[in-house]
Structure formats: C-alpha cells, structure tokens
Structure 1
Amino acid sequence: MYWDAFTYFDAANRILTGQIPTLDFFTPAGPLGYTVAAIWIAVFPNGQPSLLIHWSTMTVTVPLMALVLAGVPRTPRMLGLLLVVPFLLFSLLPFNGKEFSSFPGSDAFGFYNRQTRLILYPLVCGLLFTRHRGVLITLVTISMFVLFFWKITGFLAAGLICAFALLAGRLRMRDAAFAAVFFAATLALIEVWTGIVSSYIADVYTLVQMNSGTLFPRIAQALSINFGIVTALSALILALLVVGRSELQQAFAVVLEERSTASVASFLDRPAFWLAAITIAGVFFETQNTASQALIFIWPALLWVLLTLPSWAAGPHSVMLVAGLVGAAYLPPVVSILERTARAYVGGLRYASLEHENLKTLGAVTARASVLRRSEVMTGIYEHHRSTYDEIAASGELPGSTLYSEFDFQITYLQTVDRAINSLRTLEARSGVHFDTIMSLNFTNPFPWLMERKAPLHITVGADPFRAVAAPDADVERAVSSVDIALMPTCPPTDANARLLALFAGGLSNHQRIKLDDCYDAFIHPKFGPMPPSNS
C-alpha cells in the first residue's frame, strides 16, 4: 500500500504552496505529522519516501527520549540503555508487526499509527522512571501537545495512561494541573493566532460521525489482530497478581483502614495495574488501526517487572514464569520486525528497479521481475476489458479482496501515474494550455507534487470515501468547480473512485470529461474550451 506515502507528498506540496492543514484541506490524522514530514521532504528532496516519512518522527521523539534520559535515576546503570535500544529499533525500521504480502518488502503504510506509538513510548518511559519533577511536567506537556496534533486517538490513549499515573501517584495533582493549564494556554494562543484548533476539532468530529458505528467491531478486530500480545499480557497480569497476592492483600487492607489518597496510590502503583492500564489504552488505540507496531510502548512497564522481579517473587519458579511471559509479550513483535527487515533487504537484492520518467523519488522502489511482468499484463487487461471492471465496481466489489495491498496493483498505479503525466503534458502542448490546479478522484493525488502544480483547496488528503471524505459543503463545491483538471484512474475502475466521483459530481458538472489515455479519464474546466480526447 505504497500510495499511503503519496498522501504525505500531496500534503507537503500543499503546505509548501501555502495551504494550511485543517484550514485549507482535510487530513485523516492530525496536521502536525504531515507538517513535520513536509519539512523533511523539503530538506531531503532525494530521500526515499517510506524511510523519510517514518524517520521524520524523530524530530519530536528524540527530544522526548532525551528528556526521559535526563530524568531517569542513575541506578540501575543500564536503565537508560534498556529504554533506548527498543526505541531506536522501532524508530529506525519502517516495518509493521503484521505482514500483508508473502513477498518481502518494507511497509510504506500505517505511518501515523507507527509514529503515534513512537511518541507514546517516551511518555510511558517518563511516567514510570523519571523522578525529576520539572522533567516530568515538561515531558507530559510536550507529549500531550504533540499527540493532540498528531493523532487524536493517540492523545486519548495517552490521557488514559496519564489518568492512571495520577491515580497511582506517579503524577502529582499539582503537576498535572500545571501541565493541563500550559497545554490549554498553548492551544488558546494557537487558536487566536491561526484558528487551526477549532477547525481541527471540527474535522475530528466529522471523522467520529463517519466512523461512529464501527467502534465495537473494531475493538473485536484489534483484539483478534493482536491476540498474541494481548493474551500474553493478560496472562502476565494474572501471574503478577497471583505471585504478589500476599503483598497485594496487605496493601488493600491499608486502603480500607486509612481510606486516603496516598494509600490508594500505593496500592495501584504496581506493575500488574500499570500493565493493565497501558494494555487497555493500547487496545483502545488499536481500534482505529489495521497495521503497525502494536503496543510497543508497553516495554517500560515490562522492564519495570524484570527489574523488580527478584525482590518480591515467591521463588525461582515464579521468576521463570513471569520472565517467560514478559518474553512472550514482547519478543514476537521484535523478532517479527527484525525478520521482516532481513527479508526485505536480503530478498530485495534480487529485485529490479522501477523504470519511470516522472515519478521523482516516489519511483525509488524495486520489485520482483515477476511482479513487474504481472503489472504489465494486468494493465493491458484493465485497458481492454474495462466494461467488466466497471461492472465489478458498480456491484460495490473490488477485482480482488486484497487489491490495494497487492504489489502489482501498487506498481500498476505508479506506472499509470507516470504515463498519465506524459499524457497531460502532451495534451497541454497540443492545446496550448496549462493546468495549474490538479485534482484526483482517487485515494491520493501525487500529480501536483510530481508536476510542480497546485492541489485544490478543501480536498481530503488520503481520500477514503468510506471513512474520511464527508459530503461536500459549499466551500468544497466551489473548490471543485474551479479546479482546472480532475483525473480519474481506470486501471482498474473501483467502487471507491466511483463514490468519489458521485460525491464531487456537482462541482464537476460543467467540466468536460475526456479519455486522457487508456488508464485515465480527465474532467477539464470549461474555461479551456472543448478538448479532443487522447489518441491513445
């Protein structure tokens, strides 16, 4: 699903041409991640997209981890290293824990899901290990601010974890109040200066309305996709409660006797309850994700279990049981990502580079020769049997249930975009026109970036009509009606693209529809006059 990377380049092009996320265009996640990626794209114009977007997160995560290291105690001496190594592993490797293809390859999708987990990681580290009050307040405030503008579900998950930290006494009420006031004041200043906060909240509300009926099914999906780690964590929590039951009973008796905030905090501030709180927050976050590095931010709590285990375990059998369950919870995703990395870079040695003329760094991909051949064959079939695929799209189905995650579909998309740019330039030269604003009736719109043009205002980045594109309002209608050219891919036609066309049909009603080439139709603004169809 490499076209997920295109959404960041689409957003970067808009930002670099003066558009502001949430004010001028809708984003399926928060505006900050796209803005940071845009900066990296501008600074590293020759960077490979999937690496560049993933690594851009270090703009915020590295300073947060530096704060953590500044506040952790000096003993045990290896504590900082044990916290940093997993962080570096997940920060450097652009791989998800689950595979969507039997062929080796890197994961150029699920970016903001991976990024959000990497931001949650130092926050959990700080709550569990930082003892410096100033460092902790700074860490919590910055983390919550970043998460709010990165992905709102990550912000809510962090809120659940911070709420438990408050109950468990790791975060003082005064410190939490200070962080909340500073956070609110910062949002207020940004809102007064730009108006972006209220616009962003309105976008979030729109997304919630569009996806409100999917929460409970998605909880089941999150639990099933991450069954292994959730089961191991559940077993570990139960084992910790059983092994430490005598201490737990004594602490609970103190709570009943004293009925004080301090006694409740002392009772809750133990590994089993922390693991439960972080797991619940993690599963909640996973309800909006279908792939990524699930629950990697549980490691600080697991490390706490390992560091304190000898002091309270009932004997060697308890130590072995708990240590084994810690390994069962965290080693599978680590091993999976390391294995996928090795497969991608070793197997990729036999891959062939994609040939292209117009794709810039978006074409910096390799694939198996068999995938390239299949893409060529399928493109010809799409071209000559379009009516069949139109009928499939009209039925609300895809040609294959996993079409978008198939390597050959993504390669076909790259090749047809490359060819469409040539067709566009030919049309412009033949007609003596210049299309300044380019829209795409598709999930993503790489054309403005690749052709150094502009994207229209108010159009969603990552246009999933089932989850992220609301019915157009007057502003959207005006933006669509003024667009110079809108492009619709037809190799193959899909129900999603047909739905996008239906949504924007009002704005395109006066545009002339022509066949640009065998794999793209074009809708051209009437100001350019009648256009002849392509000769392809």
Structure 2
Amino acid sequence: MVTDTLQERGRGGGRALGLSVPPVLALLAVLAVLPTLLSLRLTLPVGPFYWDLFIYFDGANRVFDGQMPAADFFAPGGPLGYWLFAGTLALFPEGQPLLIAQWCLLAVTAPLMALVLVDVDKRSRTLAFALLVPFLVFSLLPVNVEEYYFYPGIDGFGIYNRHTSQLLYVLAAALVFVESRRRLLPVIAGAMLALFLVKITGFVAGGLLCALAFCAGRVDLRGALAVAAAFVLGLGLLQATTGVVLPYLADIAALVSMNTDSLLPRFIQASSIHFRVVGPIAVLVVALLWLDGRSMLRRLGGLRPADALATARDLADRDLVWLGATAFAALFFETQNTGGQGFIFVWPVLLRILVRANRFKGAAFVTVIALVAAASLPTFMQVAQRGARALVGQVNYVALPHQHLKTLGSVSQRPEVVERARKLMTAYAGFPETWRYFSAQKMLPSFTLYTEPDFQLTWLMAADEAAGAILAYEAQHGVRFETIMNINFVNPFPYLLDRHGTRLVAIGADPFRAVPDPDAAVLDAVRGTDLVLYPKCPVTDANDKLLSLYAPALIGHDRIALSRCWDAFVRPGLAAR
C-alpha cells in the first residue's frame, strides 16, 4: 500500500510528534468554534473583486422567496452554493458575509473529510493530520492563490472555485488513501454529487480522478456501479423535489455556448498563472518517469494475457500516473477560473509520493523530496501568508460607515483609501461626460478597476446611497417597490430592503460571459419589475450592454434621477401615485 512507511510507525509516530488527539476530534474542535465567530459582528479588509460576494446575497434572497436556482433565475454557479449560503445566513444573520460564504461548504466537506480521517488514522495519525491541516487552512481562509492587489485584503471572488477545489481535495484524499470500501464509496458519491451541484468543470475534473481510481483498482466495478446509482438517485430525488436539475443542465449548455474560446490559450494562461506549482510538478513528473520508467517498461515487457488486468492496474496505480492525471485535472479546472485555490487537490498525491520516497536512494531521494516540497508549499504558504497579512493589516484600517448595507458593509480598509473612495464618488457624479467617454471607447476608467479596493468601497457607498434614496422616494410618493432589479453585475438591493428580485434574470450579470440574450419570458419579467436601477458611478460599457439587452422591456417605464449616482426606471403608474 501507499502508506507502508507510516503504517510501520502507526499511531506511535503521531504521538512522537505530539499528535495525541484523534484528527476527527481536532476537526470537530475547529468546527465548534465557527458558530461563535459567525455570531459576532466582525469586519474583514475589503479586497479585489469583493462585490462577487454580493451574488450570494442575491441568490439567497431569491431562495428565501421560494425561487429555485436555474429554474427561477440564471446563475453563474451551481445551486448548492446558494442553498448552503442561504441556510447559513438564516442561522447567522449577523455573521461576516464572506466567512459565511467560505465556511458554509463545511456542511458537506467536513463529514466527508471525517470519513477519510477515520480510515487513515487507523494506520497513521501523522498521515491523517498531514491531510487535515491543509484542508483546514484552505477551508477556513477566504483567500485565493492569485494576488491581484498589493494592499492586504480578503478575496470576495472565486468563492465557488474555492469550494470546488476543496471538494476535489477531499475526493483525491479518499481515492488515494482510504482503504475501507464502506467509507470510500460514500465519500466518492457525496463529493461527486456536490461537485456537480457547485461547478460542472469541477465535476469533470473529479470524474477524471475517479476514472483513474477505477483503472488502478482502487474502486472495483461493483463499487463504481454503486456510486453511479447513488449519484443518479440523488439527482433524481433533487429533480423530483426541486425541479432544478434539468434547468441547471440547460444553463450549463448556455454558459458553454457563451464561452467557446479555444482551450489551448486557456491552458497556457492557467500554466502561466500557476507556474510556481506547475513548474515543479512538471519536473517531478519527468523525475518519476526517469526513476520508474524502466520498471514500468519491464512490467510491460513481461506481460502475459493471464495477468493483463493486474498489470494494467499496477501501471495505473503508479505515482507517476497519479501525479500526471491529477495535475492535468487541476490544470483543466483552472482553465475556466480567474481566481481560487488552484492545485490544492494535488496535495494528497504529493503526500503519497512523499511517504513512499524512501524507496529511492541518495540523490534520487533528495530530488523527489525537494520537488514535492516545491510543488506543495508555495500554494499552502501563499494562502496562509495572505490570510495572516490581511488579518494583521486591518489593525490600522477603519470600518466603512454606512446606514443601509446590513452585514454587507462589514468591511474595513486604510483610511486614505476610504477617503479616496468618497472623492471618487464626487468625481463620478460631477463629471459624467468623462466616464461616458470611457464607456463609449469600451474601456474602464482603470484597466484593473474591479480589483481596486477603492472601487469596491465606492460601489458599497453608492449602494448605501441608492438604498436610502429608494426609501426616501417611497416615503415621498406613497409607494412601495416590491420588486427591484439592478442593471449591474450584482443586485443586493432586494436583500437590503427586504424586497424581491426579478425572476428569470441572470445574477452575477457579466454581459460578456454569463448573461444569455433575454427571451420573451425574461423580458416580461423585467417589464413587470417595479424598480430597475441603473448605476452611474461610474458609467461602464458592461452596464450599458446590460441596459441594451433589457431596454425593450423598459420602454414603458418612467426614467427618473433617483440620486447623483443612480437613475431608475419606475413601472408605469407607481411614479405618479
């Protein structure tokens, strides 16, 4: 087995390192602290693309309304994330929203990881903790591997990418290390079902790992059929009770049709972004090919028909094959991402190589150990270091003042950045022709506008202003807008004002990647919306494109200047009431 070295030491090796507590209890102890943290009104330093987080509030508010992801609104991710976020938000309404979004997946990953830990702990406590510690670091810290801004901050984007990578980590750990069939099969079925419901490319990557496990004999035919049956049964029950599965498949097809770029440039880009990991892995693959290649060729040379299946399984179960396949799956997954915790699920395979490295001698042993460290430590240290830097850095930050943002405003940033955001609001409102020029040229005011904390703060300030302006308009005119839509990437206003979101429209509305052309049903839903907001601080090409998509449904609405940063389209009759 892959854990021979540590199995010989057993639990004694773990105790020698001070690991006397069973890893499952350590996991439970960490989980027990989280509800307390979510009950506190904490702030986190706002970071790049923080507004991606607001998509979850839009989705959660729709779930509270009884809407179903995919069936009642178009979403950039699978339904599971919105359900988990909504459930956790209902339990902890005062919790810091990014922590809720990050930790809600533990409702799925923690039980599955516990099954892995119980199985591995029976043979080696050290190995079990070597799997647990990275899992906790990646699961608890809302931090991506990629760094898009130099000030300390927490990443509000790539959340469902992080969720997917964490699920793949649990799946890889189970496929590589779990020996008990009654523990392995539930982990595979649960992880694959969750992957399907979070992000389809993660499901494909997980399928590649499962296929290798089957070829390597880690999962037999009966087990594979049992997992497939459980998966199909789970989807069938979900379709019967919620009706989301078939619409979700249709949404996936729509997203694929909107993102038909060649994969080769994306592979090159993903390799470049993650070269600090891809490079050492590639060298390690070459090293293992050099060290094990002759052994594999000898096994093939002595192949007899009678032991063809055993030979195929032996070759598929080699470190070289596991590393190559897992790295390819990770690289494929990253071709569809702009942020997340890329390549973390290669760690269990690297750990397998590490515990078997004593079969090499001399320079070969040193080379393998060094390459395993080079391939695993950068990602771990990047996430840990950025998380620690953000938490320490906010000591000198100030909280964002607001009136109407609820917990969405639980953020902080450097005082001078907050003051800059206030002045930008004045500039956006006072010189509109400047920003209209940028929009007409299909340019942003800054090439990296959405990564900049001052933009994220400006957007939050503008949202606070819009919510106050809506309440003031309603009080002045004796009306109440029950449905609110925002011609923008995000729409937290129904949640902030306890209203309803327009059915069928896309949330996380990137018009260039994730908004299908509206059909008659979508336009009818927009036409019936009481209030449609249009942001002007600043005017952007993306917002103008969204407006052009929905313009046919707004012909009868009255356009008003709601505030200095917002126009609004009011449903006929409401403005004059």
Query: Hey, what does 2:377 align to over in structure 1?
Result: 331
Which one-letter code corresponds to 1:376 in the other structure?
Answer: R
Show the counterpart of 2:265: 217
The one of 19, 23, 30 aligned to 2:71: 23
Q: Distance in 1 between matches of 2:304 and 2:453?
A: 60
Which stretches of structure 1, 4 residues or longer, exceed 3 Å deviation after superposition?
254-259
The correspondence of residues 450-529 of structure 1 with structure 2, limited to 5 A, is 450-529=496-575
8 Å CA contact 1:241, 1:248 repeated in 2: no
Cα deviation digits, residues 136-176 of structure 1 (max 9, x gap): 11111111111111111100100011111111111112211
CA distance in 1, matches of 2:561, 2:575: 16
- 2:453 aligned to which of 377, 397, 407: 407
| Distance in 2 between residues matched to 1:23 and 1:371, nearest whole Å | 41
- The residue aligned with 1:534 is none
CA displacement, residues 202-251 of structure 1 (integer Å, 9 cap, x when unaligned): 00000000001253322221111111211111111111121223422322
Residue 14 of structure 2 aligns with which residue? none
Give 1:282 shift: 0.5
Quote the Cα distance in structure 1 between the aligned partners of 2:255 and 2:171.
Answer: 26
Cα distance in 1 between the residues matched to 2:262 and 2:560: 38
The residue type paired with residue 279 of structure 2 is: T
Counterpart secondary structure, 2:473 = helix
Q: 1:245 to 1:393 in 2, by over 3 A?
A: same
Q: Secondary structure at the match of 2:552?
A: coil
Give the counterpart letter for 1:293 in structure 2.
Answer: Q
The answer to whether structure 1 residue 382 and structure 2 residue 422 are counterparts is no
Q: CA deviation at 1:333?
A: 1.1
- Residue identity opposite 1:167 in structure 2: C
1:63 alignment counterpart: 111
Give yes or no for the alignment of 1:280 onto 2:321. no
Equivalent of residue 394 in structure 1, options 433, 436, 440: 440
List gaps (5 residues or longer) in structure 1.
532-536
Q: Give unmatched runs, 5+ long, in structure 2.
A: 1-48
Q: Mapping of 1:58-457 within 5 angstroms?
A: 58-72=106-120, 74-255=122-303, 258=306, 260-310=308-358, 312-313=359-360, 315-457=361-503
User: Equivalents in 2 of 1:62, 1:464: separation in Å?
Assistant: 32
Q: How far apart are 1:98 and its partner, in Å? A: 1.5
Deviation, structure 1 residue 72: 2.6
Contact between 2:68 and 2:242, CA under 8 Å: does it hold in 1? no
User: In terms of mean alpha carbon deviation, does 201-210 or 225-234 score higher?
Assistant: 225-234
Provide the alpha-carbon RMSD of the alignment: 1.3
Distance in 1, matches of 2:433 and 2:67, equals 38
Contact 2:267 2:335 in 1 (8 A): yes
- Larger deviation, residues 180-189 vs 263-272: 180-189
Aligned length: 529
Q: Which letter does structure 1 place at the counterpart of 2:519? A: D
Q: Is the 8 A contact 1:255 1:267 kept in 2?
A: no
The answer as to whether partners of 2:484 and 2:494 remain within 8 angstroms in 1 is yes
1:291 match: secondary structure: coil
Whether the aligned pair in 2 keeps the contact of 1:141 and 1:183 (CA below 8 Å) is yes
The CA distance in 2 between the partners of 1:529 and 1:461, in whole Å, is 26
Contact 2:557 2:571 (8 Å CA) reproduced? yes
The superposition leaves residues 373-396 of structure 1 with CA deviations (integer Å, 9 ceiling, x where unpaired) of: 111111111111101111211221
Contact 1:512-1:530 at 8 Å conserved across structures: no
Superposition TM-score, scaled by structure 1 size: 0.97
Amino acid at match of 2:558: Q
Partner of 2:9: none
Specify the code of the residue in structure 2 equivalent to 1:322. V
Q: How far apart are the structure 1 equivalents of 2:210 and 2:512?
A: 33
Matches of 1:396 and 1:162, distance apart in 2? 44
Determine the C-alpha separation between the residues in 1 that align with 2:323 and 2:220: 20
3-state SS, counterpart of residue 163 of structure 2: helix
Q: In the alignment, what sits opposite 2:24? A: none
Question: In structure 1, what is the Cα distance between the partners aligned to 2:293 and 2:477?
Answer: 81
Alpha-carbon distance in structure 2 between the residues aligned to 1:191 and 1:262:
40
TM-score, normalising length: structure 2: 0.90
Rounded Cα–Cα distance in structure 1 between residues aligned with 2:256 and 2:196: 15
The one-letter code matched in structure 2 to 1:60 is: V
Q: Measure how far apart 1:75 and its partner are.
A: 2.4
Displacement of 1:352 = 0.7
Between stretches 79-88 and 434-443, larger displacement belongs to: 79-88
SS of residue in 1 equivalent to 2:573: helix
